[in-house]
Amino acid sequence: MKNIIQLRIPKNSNYIGITRMTAASIGNNMNFNIDDIEDIKVIVSEISIFFINHLKENQHEFEIQFKIHHDKLEISFSDLNEGELVVEEDDLSLMIIQSLSDDFQMVTVNNKMKISKILSRQV
Protein backbone atom coordinates (compact mmCIF):
# COMPACT_ATOMS: atom_id res chain seq x y z
CA MET A 1 0.00 0.00 0.00
CA LYS A 2 1.22 3.49 -0.75
CA ASN A 3 0.11 6.84 0.59
CA ILE A 4 0.31 10.00 -1.48
CA ILE A 5 0.84 13.53 -0.21
CA GLN A 6 0.58 16.33 -2.75
CA LEU A 7 1.59 19.99 -2.46
CA ARG A 8 1.21 22.92 -4.85
CA ILE A 9 3.74 25.61 -4.07
CA PRO A 10 4.12 29.06 -5.65
CA LYS A 11 7.34 29.44 -7.66
CA ASN A 12 8.91 31.60 -5.02
CA SER A 13 11.97 30.75 -2.96
CA ASN A 14 10.15 31.94 0.18
CA TYR A 15 8.17 28.67 0.18
CA ILE A 16 11.04 26.21 -0.13
CA GLY A 17 11.05 25.78 3.66
CA ILE A 18 7.55 24.31 3.49
CA THR A 19 8.70 21.63 1.07
CA ARG A 20 11.77 20.87 3.19
CA MET A 21 9.74 20.53 6.39
CA THR A 22 7.18 18.30 4.68
CA ALA A 23 9.92 16.09 3.23
CA ALA A 24 11.68 15.85 6.62
CA SER A 25 8.45 14.94 8.39
CA ILE A 26 7.66 12.21 5.85
CA GLY A 27 11.21 10.86 6.03
CA ASN A 28 11.04 10.78 9.83
CA ASN A 29 7.67 8.99 9.79
CA MET A 30 9.16 6.41 7.42
CA ASN A 31 12.08 5.86 9.81
CA PHE A 32 14.78 7.09 7.45
CA ASN A 33 18.04 7.76 9.27
CA ILE A 34 19.07 11.36 9.88
CA ASP A 35 21.55 11.39 6.98
CA ASP A 36 18.90 10.20 4.52
CA ILE A 37 16.44 12.79 5.84
CA GLU A 38 19.03 15.52 5.27
CA ASP A 39 19.61 14.16 1.73
CA ILE A 40 15.88 14.28 1.03
CA LYS A 41 15.67 17.88 2.29
CA VAL A 42 18.57 18.92 0.07
CA ILE A 43 17.05 17.14 -2.95
CA VAL A 44 13.70 18.88 -2.45
CA SER A 45 15.43 22.26 -2.07
CA GLU A 46 17.62 21.79 -5.13
CA ILE A 47 14.74 20.70 -7.35
CA SER A 48 12.67 23.65 -6.18
CA ILE A 49 15.54 26.04 -6.89
CA PHE A 50 16.12 24.38 -10.26
CA PHE A 51 12.51 24.99 -11.34
CA ILE A 52 12.51 28.56 -10.02
CA ASN A 53 15.72 29.37 -11.91
CA HIS A 54 15.16 27.53 -15.19
CA LEU A 55 11.68 28.47 -16.31
CA LYS A 56 11.11 32.14 -16.83
CA GLU A 57 7.32 31.79 -16.63
CA ASN A 58 6.22 32.14 -13.00
CA GLN A 59 2.46 32.52 -13.24
CA HIS A 60 1.67 29.02 -12.01
CA GLU A 61 2.96 26.98 -9.12
CA PHE A 62 4.80 23.71 -9.17
CA GLU A 63 3.47 20.48 -7.76
CA ILE A 64 5.31 18.08 -5.48
CA GLN A 65 3.98 14.59 -4.91
CA PHE A 66 5.36 12.29 -2.22
CA LYS A 67 4.53 8.61 -2.77
CA ILE A 68 5.18 6.67 0.39
CA HIS A 69 5.87 2.96 -0.11
CA HIS A 70 6.88 0.52 2.61
CA ASP A 71 10.52 0.52 1.43
CA LYS A 72 11.04 3.77 -0.47
CA LEU A 73 9.94 7.34 -0.95
CA GLU A 74 9.24 8.62 -4.46
CA ILE A 75 9.13 12.36 -4.98
CA SER A 76 7.78 13.79 -8.23
CA PHE A 77 8.02 17.44 -9.22
CA SER A 78 5.98 19.04 -12.00
CA ASP A 79 6.30 22.66 -13.05
CA LEU A 80 2.85 23.78 -14.15
CA ASN A 81 4.18 26.72 -16.19
CA GLU A 82 4.57 26.86 -19.94
CA GLY A 83 8.00 26.72 -21.50
CA GLU A 84 10.72 24.20 -21.95
CA LEU A 85 13.51 23.54 -19.52
CA VAL A 86 16.91 24.26 -20.99
CA VAL A 87 19.33 22.07 -19.06
CA GLU A 88 23.09 22.28 -19.08
CA GLU A 89 25.00 19.07 -18.34
CA ASP A 90 27.15 20.72 -15.69
CA ASP A 91 24.23 22.28 -13.78
CA LEU A 92 25.19 22.15 -10.10
CA SER A 93 21.64 21.54 -8.87
CA LEU A 94 21.26 18.51 -11.15
CA MET A 95 24.60 17.08 -10.06
CA ILE A 96 23.59 17.39 -6.40
CA ILE A 97 20.17 15.83 -7.03
CA GLN A 98 21.67 12.91 -8.96
CA SER A 99 24.33 12.24 -6.36
CA LEU A 100 21.86 12.13 -3.45
CA SER A 101 19.05 10.17 -5.19
CA ASP A 102 18.85 6.41 -5.49
CA ASP A 103 16.97 6.87 -8.77
CA PHE A 104 16.60 10.06 -10.78
CA GLN A 105 14.54 10.75 -13.91
CA MET A 106 13.95 14.04 -15.67
CA VAL A 107 11.53 14.76 -18.51
CA THR A 108 12.28 18.19 -19.93
CA VAL A 109 9.34 18.18 -22.37
CA ASN A 110 6.75 18.10 -19.60
CA ASN A 111 8.93 19.86 -17.02
CA LYS A 112 8.95 16.93 -14.62
CA MET A 113 11.48 15.31 -12.31
CA LYS A 114 11.14 12.15 -10.28
CA ILE A 115 13.50 10.86 -7.64
CA SER A 116 13.46 7.84 -5.33
CA LYS A 117 15.11 7.36 -1.99
CA ILE A 118 15.24 3.79 -0.72
CA LEU A 119 14.75 3.16 2.96
CA SER A 120 17.77 1.50 4.56
CA ARG A 121 16.49 -0.65 7.38
CA GLN A 122 18.73 -0.63 10.43
CA VAL A 123 18.85 -3.89 12.33
Q: What is the pLDDT of residues 58-116, one digit of tens each?
A: 677 889 999 999 888 999 988 777 766 667 777 888 888 888 888 888 776 677 778 78
Q: What is the CATH code for 3-118? A: 3.30.565.10
DSSP string, 48-110: HHHHHHH-S--SS-EEEEEEE-SSEEEEEEEE-SSS-----TT-HHHHHHHHH-SEEEEETTT
C-alpha neighbours within 13 Å on the C-beta side of residue 72: 10
Taking the C-alpha atoms of residue 88 and residue 38, their distance in angstroms, rounded to an integer, is 26
Taking the C-alpha atoms of residue 9 and residue 63, their distance in angstroms, rounded to an integer, is 6
Phi, psi for 28 (deg, rounded to 5): -65, -45
Res. 122: pLDDT tops 50: no
Average pLDDT in the 25-52 region? 91
* Sequence ranges of the domains in the chain: 3-118
pLDDT (tens digit, 9 = 90+) per residue, 39-73?
999 999 988 888 787 766 667 788 999 999 988 89
